[in-house]
Amino acid sequence: MPPLSSGITLSQAGVTLAGKPVLQDLTARLTEARIGIIGRNGSGKTTLLRLIAGLIAPDKGMVRLDGFDPFADRKAALSALGILFQNPDHQILFPTVAEEIAFGLRQLGQTEAAAQAAALQMLARHGRSHWAKAATHTLSQGQRHYLCLMAVLAMAPSTILLDEPFAGLDLPSQMQLQRGFAALPQRLITITHDPAVVAGYDRILWLQDGRLHADGPPAQILPAFHAAMAAYGACDADTDISG
């Protein structure tokens, strides 16, 4: 695996979707090994993840990873960044497990034979060699999440972006994934609405209404976030219907 990248830089970055500002004036340099991004639903968390991954371009400002633009240079972005979406079914494309893992390696230029061999090695490393010929649609939700993780790891990125990685999983599946994530040497940037997921991280970004509301260590940010969410929960703030 390559060493951690030198960092992700956001400079006054903004994104507008369907005429509505979703992210505004985001400026930060992300260099830590474990970074959490929290906020209410609709705060712009997933859009920020897509922006960092280079899946969308900013309307304003700039995004850089190790000095390159991840939207403009997709080949470099594929090598440097992996992404796990909230729903693995939005990510899985192939009928068998080994084919799914090999696909990313083929995108990086490996031959079919080399990619298949690497896929089998990845499965063996994770104690799942017996999955190789399994149909992806027969896997449980947790197993599909783990398959997506192995497919990303096979590409050896230095940074992995996680979008609500435990959504919809039962407790054993969450624990298995948590152990897998904890052992990774890669930089993890985790999007979540659950502060407990990122309590042990190095740095927390709190998004609110598409802006960076707060940025700092968990001990500083998470108590304030808890208090704010408790205040929202104490009132019926969602009862009004906008015309």
Q: Could you please report the per-residue DSSP string of 54-78?
A: TSS--SEEEEEETTB-TTT-HHHHH
Q: Which of 232, 243, 139, 174 is nearest to 130 (CA)?
A: 139
The tokens for 89 are 């079914």
Structure confidence at residue 243 (pLDDT): 38
Amino acid at 107: Q
Per-residue pLDDT tens for 191-215? 988 898 999 999 999 999 999 999 9
Q: What is the pLDDT of residue 172?
A: 85
Q: Residue 143: is its pLDDT beyond 80?
A: yes
pLDDT tops 80 at residue 47? yes
Percent of the chain with pLDDT over 70: 95
Give the model's pLDDT for residue 199: 93
Mean pLDDT of all residues in 54-70:
93
pLDDT greater than 90 at residue 236? no
Q: DSSP string spanning the chain? A: -PPPPS-EEEEEEEEEETTEEEEEEEEEEE-SSEEEEE--TTSSHHHHHHHHHTSS--SEEEEEETTB-TTT-HHHHHHHEEEE-SSGGGT--SSBHHHHHHHHHHHTT--HHHHHHHHHHHHHHTT-GGGTTSBGGGS-HHHHHHHHHHHHHHT--SEEEEESTTTT--HHHHHHHHHHHHT--SEEEEEES-GGGGTTSSEEEEEETTEEEEEE-HHHHHHHHHHHHHHHHTTTTT-----
Quick one: tokens of 202?
A: 């190095």
- Examine the pLDDT at 1 and tell me if it is beyond 60: no
pLDDT of 147 strictly over 80: yes
Residue 216 has pLDDT above 90, yes or no: yes
Average pLDDT over residues 2-26: 88
Per-residue pLDDT at 66? 85
Q: Is the pLDDT of residue 70 over 90?
A: yes
